[in-house]
């Protein structure tokens, strides 16, 4: 299946539906207006000079009511079609490489102190997160970000691969989840909602719900008897006084419950719709089945329970109606709803966090499945358990670059070869190669497909020093920032996973003599402690590190050629040390006389 053709075909269909529903929207709107005018005209004749019988007014009233119902349905279909149009437009933009800066960039997850987040463009404009993130809830964003920031175990990554492979072609389901609800995205804070659900219960005195029901019934009955003239008003006033006294005693607890429930209940609205859609689906992958079953654990169906909470909040809102407000006050409406909400929390409160987390994990899997569908040439990596670390890629590319722009390379690290020293001139693609390796490792251990013809790797944890900058606020030079990052990478050693270090222009902030000694010492320490990695340099003095690590370090390079006064790069990795530098050529190419 061609992803772009599939998306463009579906986009055209959804646009056609949107246009058709828009025409119906206008047509029914005009019909409602005409019916209203006709009804008003008929009423003039009915209540003025009796030319038309009164019963005839039933016709425009019924017609108007039918048109209102039809209009609401058309609005719902129109909004759904418009959201589907947006869903496929964004898909086409990703496939045409026009997505940068238009999606969720994960700025709230940025952490300059992370060992690879800033270096590998995990978050921010044009980042991996922006490319992948098609989720609609904060819980989904949280889960996706977590997977990109910390590698999964082999079992977890394998389960995610199976789930993503099953979801890969289910475009209809991904569309359904994208168009549900009233808003394109939800800003629900999952921790705040879960904290409300798990908070200590608000306790009313024993039998309060029964007493309130009896008092409400007493008020209604005595009022009815008084209006029917079967009793005096004394019984009614007595029942009302007792009920208002009870309302006063329960007032603070009632306000506490009703004041706290509004935001969580409304925030759970989109979640309930997502849950209902997922509960109706069947899956075969073990992870998907487990997540699906978790939405109905302990006999509680998540969507039904959240739907019940939303109905209670809707009932609570009735008391804001000016006509119903006096009745609500008389029958202790808010107190009765408050106690029903507390009963709901007692039954469902401890499950809310799990429901939110389950939806978030589903959404993260669907995001990776969408990426897998949109990049059919990407392959799922082989996750192997090799002592000492292993990384072997055939046809490795950069995941954030379109297919026609990047050059594939073969990279192998492991067993005897622990270090690749990549020399090359400026703009030859050294940093891009490091990021290609790092990003594909991140994708692999998130459970996603990778940008390679074939990739096999062992459990690895990435430590990167590629984009290290100084900080005026922290009073740190670039060199100090770099050695701080190097210390953090060294601290990863002994953590249970092989460290894959990626270092660009190692220790470039100091003189050549100290740089060579320091770089050699750091690299040797990492390799002696079991790490594997790659370093880049255009300082050929660092290429001699391979001589100090015979058999364990290999020199490779990225070259360029000068043709007709212009530099050309092929970005292909070759054996050996680079033979020329292009710094002077670059300066001359921009008009500097050197």
| Phi-psi sector, 415: left (phi>0), alpha (psi -120 to 50), beta | left
C-alpha 32/C-alpha 27 separation (Å) is 9
* CA-closest candidate to residue 196, choices 359, 344, 363, 360: 344
Q: CB count, 10 Å around CB of 163?
A: 27
* CA-closest candidate to residue 312, choices 331, 336, 296, 330: 336
Q: What is the pLDDT of residues 321-379, one digit of tens each?
A: 777 777 777 667 788 888 888 888 888 888 888 888 888 999 999 999 999 999 999 99
How do the residues of the chain divide into helix, strand and coil, expressed in percent and rounded to 5? 60, 10, 30
* 188: three-class secondary structure by DSSP: coil
C-alpha 436/C-alpha 116 separation (Å) is 13
135 close to 370: Cβ distance less than 8 angstroms? no
Q: CB count, 10 Å around CB of 20?
A: 14
Which residues on adjacent β-strands are paired with residue 456?
Answer: 382, 392
Which residues on adjacent β-strands are paired with residue 382?
Answer: 456
Q: CB count, 10 Å around CB of 41?
A: 12
Domain regions of the chain by residue span: 1-96, 190-367, 382-589
Rounded alpha-carbon distances, angstroms, from residue 115 to 425, 491, 503, 520? 26, 10, 11, 21
Residues with pLDDT less than 50, the chain: 470-475, 584, 594
Residue 52, pLDDT score: 58
pTM for the model: 0.85
Residue 472, pLDDT score: 40
What would you measure as the largest C-alpha separation in the chain, in angstroms?
Answer: 111
Residue 265, pLDDT score: 76
Residue 495, pLDDT score: 79
410 close to 396: Cβ distance less than 8 angstroms? yes
CATH topology of domain 382-589: Rossmann fold (3.40.50)
Residue 365, pLDDT score: 96
Q: Nearest 5°: phi and psi at 258?
A: -70, -30
Residue 326, pLDDT score: 73
C-alpha 433/C-alpha 445 separation (Å) is 19
267 close to 193: Cβ distance less than 8 angstroms? yes
- Residue 328 C-beta-side C-alpha neighbours within 13 Å: 16
């Amino acid at each position: 299946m061609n992803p772009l053709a599939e998306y463009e075909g579906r986009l055209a269909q959804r646009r056609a539906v949107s246009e058709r529903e828009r025409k119906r929207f206008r047509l029914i709107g005009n019909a409602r207006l005409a019916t209203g005018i006709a009804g008003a005209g008929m009423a003039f004749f009915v209540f003025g000079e009796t030319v038309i019988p009164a019963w005839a007014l039933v016709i425009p009233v019924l017609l108007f009511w039918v048109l209102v119902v039809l209009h609401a349905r058309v609005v719902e279909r129109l909004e759904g079609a418009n959201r589907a149009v947006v869903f496929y437009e964004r898909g086409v933009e990703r496939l045409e490489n026009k997505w940068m800066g238009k999606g969720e960039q994960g700025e709230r997850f940025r952490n300059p102190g992370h060992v690879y987040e800033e270096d590998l463009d995990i978050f921010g404009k044009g980042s991996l997160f922006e490319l992948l993130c098609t989720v609609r809830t904060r819980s989904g964003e949280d889960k996706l970000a977590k997977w990109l920031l910390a590698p999964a175990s082999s079992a977890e990554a394998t389960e995610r691969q199976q789930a993503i492979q099953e979801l890969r072609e289910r475009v209809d389901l991904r569309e359904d989840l994208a168009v549900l609800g009233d808003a394109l995205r939800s800003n629900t804070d999952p921790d705040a909602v879960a904290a409300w659900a798990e908070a200590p219960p608000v306790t009313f005195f024993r039998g309060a719900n029964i007493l309130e029901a009896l008092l409400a019934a007493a008020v209604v009955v005595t009022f009815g008897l008084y209006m029917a003239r079967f009793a005096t008003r004394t019984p009614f006033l007595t029942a009302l006084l007792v009920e208002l006294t009870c309302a006063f005693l329960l007032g603070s607890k009632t306000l506490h419950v009703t004041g706290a429930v509004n935001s969580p209940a409304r925030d759970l609205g989109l979640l309930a719709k997502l849950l209902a859609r997922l509960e109706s689906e069947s899956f075969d992958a073990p992870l998907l089945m487990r997540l699906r079953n978790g939405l109905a654990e302990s006999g509680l169906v998540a969507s039904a329970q959240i739907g019940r909470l939303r109905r209670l909040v809707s009932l609570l809102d009735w008391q804001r109606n000016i006509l119903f407000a006096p009745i609500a006050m008389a029958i202790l409406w808010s107190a009765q709803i408050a106690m029903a909400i507390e009963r709901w929390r007692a039954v469902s409160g401890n499950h809310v966090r799990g429901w939110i987390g389950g939806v978030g994990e589903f959404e993260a899997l669907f995001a990776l499945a969408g990426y897998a569908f949109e990049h059919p040439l990407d392959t799922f990596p082989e996750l192997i358990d090799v002592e000492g670390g292993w990384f072997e890629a055939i046809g490795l590319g950069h995941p954030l670059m379109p297919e026609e722009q990047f050059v594939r390379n073969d990279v192998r690290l492991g067993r005897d070869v622990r270090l690749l020293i990549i020399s090359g001139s400026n703009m030859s693609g050294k940093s891009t190669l490091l990021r290609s390796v790092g990003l594909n490792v991140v994708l692999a251990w998130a459970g996603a497909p990778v940008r390679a013809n074939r990739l096999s790797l062992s459990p690895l944890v990435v430590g990167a020093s590629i984009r290290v900058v100084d900080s005026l606020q922290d009073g740190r030079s670039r060199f100090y920032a770099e050695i701080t990052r190097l210390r953090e990478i060294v601290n990863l050693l002994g953590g249970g996973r092989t460290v894959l270090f990626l270092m660009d222009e190692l220790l470039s902030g100091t003189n050549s003599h100290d740089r060579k000694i320091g770089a050699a010492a750091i690299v040797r320490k990492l390799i002696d402690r079991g790490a594997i990695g790659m370093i880049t340099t255009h300082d050929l003095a660092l290429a001699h590190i391979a001589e100090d690590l015979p058999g364990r370090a290999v020199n490779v390079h990225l070259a360029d050629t000068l043709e007709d006064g212009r530099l050309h790069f092929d970005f292909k990795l070759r054996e050996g040390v680079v033979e020329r530098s292009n710094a002077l050529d670059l300066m001359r190419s921009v008009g500097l006389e050197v």
